[in-house]
């Protein structure tokens, strides 16, 4: 088991170990030493807009320099932009300072290898080994230098636009974009504007403290209202670091990651572009699986987390996968989940087909699904609590094979996620609350 790395890098509350300047300094050094391999490594650093990013950027830069690594500072950019630029700069690694959809009080770091993909386990273990070793600086003449990359946004904008066919033009489309006061606040409006869409922008005034606050992909209510008010064709909401997206149709209805995945998969299949099937997760709505299979598209589930979706895609040599949260991976376009690129693919389908987002999603019938989060103060072994297991068994019996129940610990937040899915909306709401109450009681007794 890893000591510091979770399912998506290292994350936590700012000021609480390991999210401290001291740790980030040592982490930068450890990364620099692991990627050195006898030569001077080049490492990119990008970040989202939360205020602590300045502090951690400086600490990581100092640690990398102390290890002899060359540093390239990208400034505020979406996480997938760092993945792309790590490849195009032929860098050994890319670092993203972000806590994704979490509030500003949290922060963390994610990593990309030189191929633009998340680090393999062996590299994460090697970094952790260095973190527990004494920090030794290279000679003064071997210290790394740091340079700021001023044209990084423009490079990524051009890449995003290149992922749709040249003949696709968004003229006539009115789009509302919610940037969550996060990393897409400069990038996303320019991408859609340069493709000739009429763009109305929300959440593009970050102050370091308002990232994800009542906005973005996790809080799309303002976007829903704005789409109706402006009579827009579609709304697009990103999370704080831009690797997730949800959309809103012209009727103000949210279109989540499962529905977007279905729309993209169906279009790719129709154009003979879909390689293999589609990878979802344990949380993917059963209606998505049914709709894909109805269209002759194979579907498999991975554990929750984009790294597990990616692992399954690579294992099967498929190109499309994603999560209900809107983390969609189009491996035929890029190397990681990318909110802007996923949104572009959906808009391209709308333009090419002449159909609205509401019409495109109509081919998938979502089963009612309830998700509740139960806060925990320390790790809770769900399998070892008899009361929880008994409640799970009872819930499955009541669903009578007409739904699913899933309990799992979040990989990014101190919560247990309780999910119940089935045709009977009233029943699943009751079952979800009963399960949440049992988990809450078990968590309290474990403290």
Q: Catalytic amino acids?
A: 100
Distance between CA atoms of residues 442 and 174, nearest Å: 49
**Cα dihedral: 202, 207, 212, 213 (round 10):** -90
Closest by CA position to 281, among listed 397, 92, 410: 410
Distance between CA atoms of residues 388 and 89, nearest Å: 50
The three-class DSSP label of residue 420 is strand
Distance between CA atoms of residues 296 and 116, nearest Å: 31
Contact 197, 340 (CB under 8 A): no
| CB crowding 392-421: b at 16 or more within 10 Å, else e | beebeebbeeebbbbbebebbbbbbbbbbb
User: How far, in Å, are 13, 37, 59 from residue 19 at the CA level?
Assistant: 6, 27, 11
The residues pairing with 146 across neighbouring beta strands, listed in sequence order, are 71
The three-class DSSP label of residue 358 is helix
Which tokens go with 108?
């963390």
Distance between CA atoms of residues 32 and 211, nearest Å: 29
Which tokens go with 350?
């709308």
| φ, ψ dihedrals at 380, nearest 5° | -120, 115
């Amino acid at each position: 088991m890893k000591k510091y790395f979770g399912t998506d890098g290292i994350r936590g509350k700012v000021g609480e170990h390991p999210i401290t300047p001291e740790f980030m300094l040592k982490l930068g050094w450890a990364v620099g030493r692991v990627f050195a391999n006898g030569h001077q490594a080049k490492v990119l650093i990008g970040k989202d807009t939360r205020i602590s990013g300045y502090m951690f950027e400086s600490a990581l830069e100092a640690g990398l320099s102390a290890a002899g690594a060359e540093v390239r500072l990208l400034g505020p950019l979406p996480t997938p932009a760092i993945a792309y630029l790590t490849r195009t700069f032929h860098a050994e690694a890319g670092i993203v300072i972000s806590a994704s959809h979490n509030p500003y009080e949290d922060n963390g770091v994610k990593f990309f290898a030189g191929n633009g993909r998340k680090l393999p386990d062996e590299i994460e273990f090697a970094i952790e080994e260095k973190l527990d070793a004494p920090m030794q600086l290279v000679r003064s003449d071997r210290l790394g230098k740091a340079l700021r990359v001023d044209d990084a946004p423009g490079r990524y904008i051009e890449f995003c636009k290149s992922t749709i066919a040249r003949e696709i033009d968004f003229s006539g489309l009115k789009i509302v974009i919610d940037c969550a006061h996060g990393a897409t606040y400069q990038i996303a409006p320019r991408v859609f504007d340069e493709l000739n869409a009429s763009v109305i922008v929300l959440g593009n005034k970050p102050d370091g403290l308002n990232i994800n606050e009542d906005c973005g992909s996790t809080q799309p209510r303002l976007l829903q209202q704005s789409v109706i008010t402006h009579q827009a064709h579609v709304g697009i909401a990103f999370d704080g670091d831009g690797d997730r997206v949800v959309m809103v149709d012209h009727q103000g209805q949210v279109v989540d990651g499962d529905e977007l995945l279905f729309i993209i998969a169906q279009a790719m299949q129709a154009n003979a572009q879909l390689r293999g099937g589609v990878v979802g997760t344990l949380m993917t709505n059963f209606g998505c699986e049914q709709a894909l299979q109805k269209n002759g598209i194979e579907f498999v589930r991975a554990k929750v987390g984009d790294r597990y979706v990616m692992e399954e895609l690579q294992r099967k040599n498929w190109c499309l996968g994603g999560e209900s949260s809107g983390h969609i991976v189009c491996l035929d376009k890029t190397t990681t989940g990318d909110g802007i690129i996923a949104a572009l693919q959906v808009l391209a389908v709308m333009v090419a087909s002449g159909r609205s987002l509401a019409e495109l999603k109509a081919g998938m019938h979502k089963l009612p699904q309830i998700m509740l989060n139960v806060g925990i103060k320390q790790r809770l072994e769900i399998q070892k609590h008899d009361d929880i297991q008994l409640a799970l068994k009872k819930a499955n019996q009541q669903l009578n094979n007409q739904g699913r129940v899933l309990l799992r610990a979040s990989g990014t937040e101190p919560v247990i996620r309780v999910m119940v899915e089935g045709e009977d909306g009233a029943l699943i709401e009751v079952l979800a609350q009963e399960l949440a109450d049992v988990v809450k009681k078990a968590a309290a007794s474990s403290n």
